[in-house]
Amino acid sequence: MTSPISRGFRGRRPDTGIAMKLPPGQYETHEFPVLSAGPTPRTPLDRWSFTLAGTDGNKASWSWTEFEALPHETITRDIHCVTKWSKFDTVWTGVSVDAIIEAGAAKGVRPAQFIVAACDGGYTTNLPLADVTGGKAWVAVGFDGKPLHPEHGGPARLLVPHLYFWKSAKWVREIHFRDHDEPGFWEGLGYHMRGDPWKEQRYTGDE
Ligand SMILES: Nc1nc2c(c(=O)[nH]1)N[C@H]1C(S)=C(S)[C@@H](COP(=O)(O)O)O[C@H]1N2
Ligand SMILES: [Mo]
């Protein structure tokens, strides 16, 4: 005999569970598509650095070795691309933006209300400080327990899983604080300034 409620106590999620994980207009994929606006840059680790820049021109920089010494976390999150694929339970290793900001403050870099992330290859994206602090964003260096593959942004990419994946800038090298919200690459081409998948903030003008 099968109890009508027993299903909920077993391992598998019922259909409603998947529906709850899928933002409006999205479908689930088990692939990991590569979406890059240009060629994959390959900066050797001994020439790689990460820089945090204040609005007053103060900067803090870390070499790869110094960056590796910052506290790393492993996080499991769903990701959502504006081209409508979502991938559930992806596992990343990285340094939280909170930890980077704290380390930057110790070197005299003061935060401001917005950021622009800048990458090898010239890609940029903008974010409010509130969307990258409070345990919501990381600079990821690992995926599935391995170093992040260059096509997916290795050696290091921004990971902001609660917003559309174009905000998760691959090959990120710099975070610049800004007093005003300034459009990045896709935002300047008609994509939404914030990009919350649960509100379907895909394009300029979407509420
Ligand atoms: N530097 C850089 N970062 C980028 C992009 C890019 O073209 N260049 N594409 C963005 C977009 S639109 C998406 S959906 C994701 C894709 O990440 P993936 O290739 O690891 O799936 O990276 C984002 N970050
Ligand atoms: Mo995307």
Domain ranges of the chain: 47-199
What's the pTM value of the predicted model, to 2 decimals? 0.93
Report the chain's mean pLDDT, rounded to a whole number. 94
Nearest ligand (C-alpha, residue 167): 1
Mean of the pLDDT values across residues 145-172?
A: 98
Q: Please state which of the ranges 10-14, 92-96, 165-169 shows the lowest mean pLDDT.
A: 10-14
Pick the CATH number of 47-199 from 3.90.420.10, 3.30.420.10, 2.40.100.10, 2.40.30.30: 3.90.420.10
Q: Is 165 in the pocket of ligand 1 (CB under 6 A)?
A: yes
Q: Which of the two residues, 12 and 134, has the higher pLDDT score?
A: 134
DSSP E strands, the chain: 27-28, 49-53, 59-63, 73-80, 85-96, 114-119, 124-128, 138-143, 146-147, 157-159, 172-178
Residue 165 CA, ligand 2 centroid: distance in Å: 6
Nearest ligand (C-alpha, residue 37): 1
Pocket test for ligand 1, best of 166, 173, 185, 189 (most atoms within 8 A of CB): 166
> Which pair of structure tokens corresponds to residue 66?
């110094």
Task: Tell which residue, 170, 177, 175, has the closest CA to residue 43.
Answer: 170
pLDDT at 3: 46
Nearest ligand (C-alpha, residue 173): 1
Residue 162 CA, ligand 1 centroid: distance in Å: 15
Indicate the pLDDT class of residue 18, thresholds 50, 70 and 90: confident
As a whole number of angstroms, the distance between CA 116 and CA 184 comes to 7
Indicate the pLDDT class of residue 19, thresholds 50, 70 and 90: confident
Share of the chain above pLDDT 90, in %: 91
Q: Is 189 in the pocket of ligand 1 (CB under 6 A)?
A: no
Mean of the pLDDT values across residues 91-101?
A: 98
Q: Is 152 in the pocket of ligand 1 (CB under 6 A)?
A: yes
Residue 114 has pLDDT above 60, yes or no: yes
Residue 12 has pLDDT above 70, yes or no: no
pLDDT digit string, tens, across residues 120-140: 999 999 999 999 999 999 999
